[in-house]
Amino acid sequence: MEYTLITGASGGIGEALAHGLAARKHNLVLVARSADKLRELHRILTDKYKTDVKFIAADLSKPDAPRQLFDETQKQGLEISMLINNAGIGSSGEFTDIDLNAELSLLQLNITSMVHLSHLYLAKMKKKRKGTLINIASMTAFMPVPYMATYAASKVFVRSFTEALTQEYKPYGIQVMLLSPGLTRTNFNEAAGLNSEKGNALSSDYSNAPTQTPEEVATETLSALDKKKHFHISGSKNRWGMRLLALLPNRMITGFMADSYRKKINQNL
């Protein structure tokens, strides 16, 4: 039986995608660290949509976790025809003030595990000559972001990697899509330490910047998928913002952002 595997399905955009896909009768494999949240979501989706839903608790910031996850789906005989690499975390603040292990863990999750899972499941899809891969980037995939340097750079990787795979796997009938959400009201800011003055200083505070709900992002993602798109920025304001930013040199954007951040948090250097 075919399944869609969603990483980071226990909340936010991943959870909203799980609802949207279950409503379309996709069988699902839900992955995140929080087994309790996954169990509860599994119960809700199974009751509501009557699809087959499995869940596997895994910490994808651990180097062996993607391989173990792949082996587990193989052992259970689940054919993953769609993979959504959605799990991701952020970080914020001056680079050397952020715990180094946290930054390395972010890279392991946002980049290495995404590459690892893509490699394992795309090889299977290639043999079948069908399948779908969706990687979740961010608006930060389009520019360097001072005081969110590592997170933003990780999403640049996601973008570059995904856009290249799109072309490599076209001949096999595999749809590879990059989805870049803008500010979305999830637990992301809290987990990244951005629900404080740092969020405000980086203009990524949910209370004073344009945002979308995770459900809106999921609806746009599925619609982009239906249209066979390879690239989608969710939110019309984000799409317009990106067009305008593309006209400016990066050094101007980063200089402005860094000055504004320092002013807003009254950093005396």
Least Å from the CB of residue 46 to ligand NAP: 18
Is 3 marked active-site? no
Among residues 119 and 263, whose Cβ is nearest to ligand NAP?
119
Among residues 146 and 214, whose Cβ is nearest to ligand NAP?
214
Among residues 7 and 166, whose Cβ is nearest to ligand NAP?
7
Q: Which of residues 73-102 bind ligand NAP (CB under 6 A)?
A: 86-89
Q: Hey, what's the torsion of the CAs at 179, 182, 183, 189, to 10 degrees?
A: 50
258 binds ligand NAP (CB under 6 A): no
Least Å from the CB of residue 173 to ligand NAP: 26
From 147, 151, 169, 261, active-site residue? 151
66 binds ligand NAP (CB under 6 A): no
20 binds ligand NAP (CB under 6 A): no
Answer for which of 2, 52, 59, 216 binds ligand NAP (CB under 6 A) is 59
Q: What is the 3-state secondary structure (H, E, C) of the chain?
A: CEEEEEECCCCHHHHHHHHHHHHCCCCEEEEECCHHHHHHHHHHHHHHHCCCEEEEECCCCCCCHHHHHHHHHHHCCCEEEEEEECCCCCCCCCHHHCCHHHHHHHHHHHHHHHHHHHHHHHHHHHHHCCEEEEEECCHHHHCCCCCCHHHHHHHHHHHHHHHHHHHHHHHHCEEEEEEECCCECCCHHHHCCCCCHHHHHCCCCCCCCCCECHHHHHHHHHHHHHCCCCEEECCHHHHHHHHHHCCCCHHHHHHHHHHHHHHHCCCCC
13 binds ligand NAP (CB under 6 A): yes
Answer for which of 186, 201, 238, 261 binds ligand NAP (CB under 6 A) is 186
Answer for which of 4, 11, 225, 257 binds ligand NAP (CB under 6 A) is 11
12 binds ligand NAP (CB under 6 A): yes
14 binds ligand NAP (CB under 6 A): yes
- The residues binding ligand NAP (CB under 6 A) are 7-14, 32-34, 37, 58-61, 86-89, 109, 136, 138, 181, 183-184, 186-188, 191, 214
